[in-house]
Amino acid sequence: MGDQPTSQEFHLPLAQITQTPLDCPLRYLDFSGDYAHLGLEYHGAAPFEDITSCELAPPAREPAAVTTPWCVTMLAPAARLAQLQELLRFFAAHDWSVRAVDTLAQRRDRTVLRFQLDAELEFAAAKHACLQLAEKIDADLVLQPGSSQRVPALAGFDMDSTLIDAEVIDELAKITGIGEQVAAITEAAMRGELDFRQSFKKRMALLRGFSEQRLAEIATQLPLKEGAKELLSALRALGCKTAILSGGFTYFADYLQREQLPVDFVHANQLEFEHGALTGGVIEPIVDGMRKRALLQQMADQMGLDLGQVVAVGDGANDIPMLNLGALGIAIHPKPKVRLEAPQSIERFGLDAALYLFGLNDRQIEELG
């Protein structure tokens, strides 16, 4: 057993945070005005000498209002001072002025810091620079317009590998003994190497004869994605309408809506049966990437919403059109192509981490019940 660590809050100018060579666990950072409040846990000598300090403060009840054109949110599984220092140097090198910082989560296994930035930047180039730094410091860095830091009115979700931790069509193929063949087609389609409509028809033809009884059994066994229930329950409590927009099947999406997740609308592909088994055919229209986008736009129009009130969440290449439609397009555990092309992405946490991009902190999320 080693000595107990010292936990202290340091009061210092934001720029001075980068001036210590010592590294230690980071608990929180809050900044507005002239001084930052930096919560650290360390052994031995203090990281900052001759700096005013006090005991760690409790989490803030509400984050500050966003007043800047851009925000970058850092999500780290076990944040350290060195990660913060790298990020602050990155902002300075790009001449992005940090106007405020809020700690949205300060758990042992999750630190979330939101930086309000006053900067003139080109989004695509800035996003890619953030992705490169994210790999270096082992954290998610999410760039978004400041105006998008709000709860949406409509959220569209992909299903396979987004709301559930599986590709249903691959699971069906495994049972019929053609798993590797179908999975290879699926993977190529999700990477954007095959047209989704063509790949969908190929895979369905291979599943001819699969019984409806087995489909019902599989539906009950599909694992939910980490954080799916928490995110959708929170959105319902906040008054946001949600929709499944899936290149998968209504058979399974309807089951999720009915039994497991608070979802308002379902749009997916219909399975064609004959004598209690799949025919191998498809029923038009196929829900591909462009149809997902069109359906989300249609729902927004019907609800009288502007696209600044709409977000989308997905993981594959056929989600890219809808991810680029509204205020935010969040790729969750995305394929490499999608990570580069989606406006925002989260790789190190579950779906519930999206709530931080809507401007909520842990205390507000907990109060939703």
Domain ranges across the chain: 6-148, 154-367
CATH 3.40.630.10 fits 154-367, yes or no: no
Q: Which residues lie below 8 Å from residue 278, measured CB to CB, with a gap of 6+?
A: 204, 207, 208, 209, 210, 212, 271, 272
The kind and range of the H/E element at 129 are helix 123-137
Radius of gyration of the CA atoms of the chain, in A: 23
What per-residue confidence (pLDDT) applies to 1? 43
171-176 contacts at long range (C-beta below 8 A, 24 or more positions apart): 171/218, 171/222, 172/207, 172/210, 172/215, 172/218, 173/203, 173/206, 173/207, 175/210, 175/214, 175/218, 176/206, 176/207, 176/209, 176/210
Q: Which residues lie below 8 Å from residue 298, measured CB to CB, with a gap of 6+?
A: none
b/e per residue, 79-114, with b = 16+ CB within 10 A?
Answer: bbbbbbbebbebbeeeebebbbbbbbbbeeebbbbb
The list of the chain residues with pLDDT below 70 reads 1-2
The CATH architecture one would assign to domain 6-148 is: 2-Layer Sandwich (3.30)
Domain 6-148 identical in fold to domain 154-367: no
What per-residue confidence (pLDDT) applies to 347? 97
Residues tagged active-site:
158, 160
Q: What are the φ/ψ torsions at residue 194 (nearest 5 degrees)? A: -130, 145
What per-residue confidence (pLDDT) applies to 186? 76
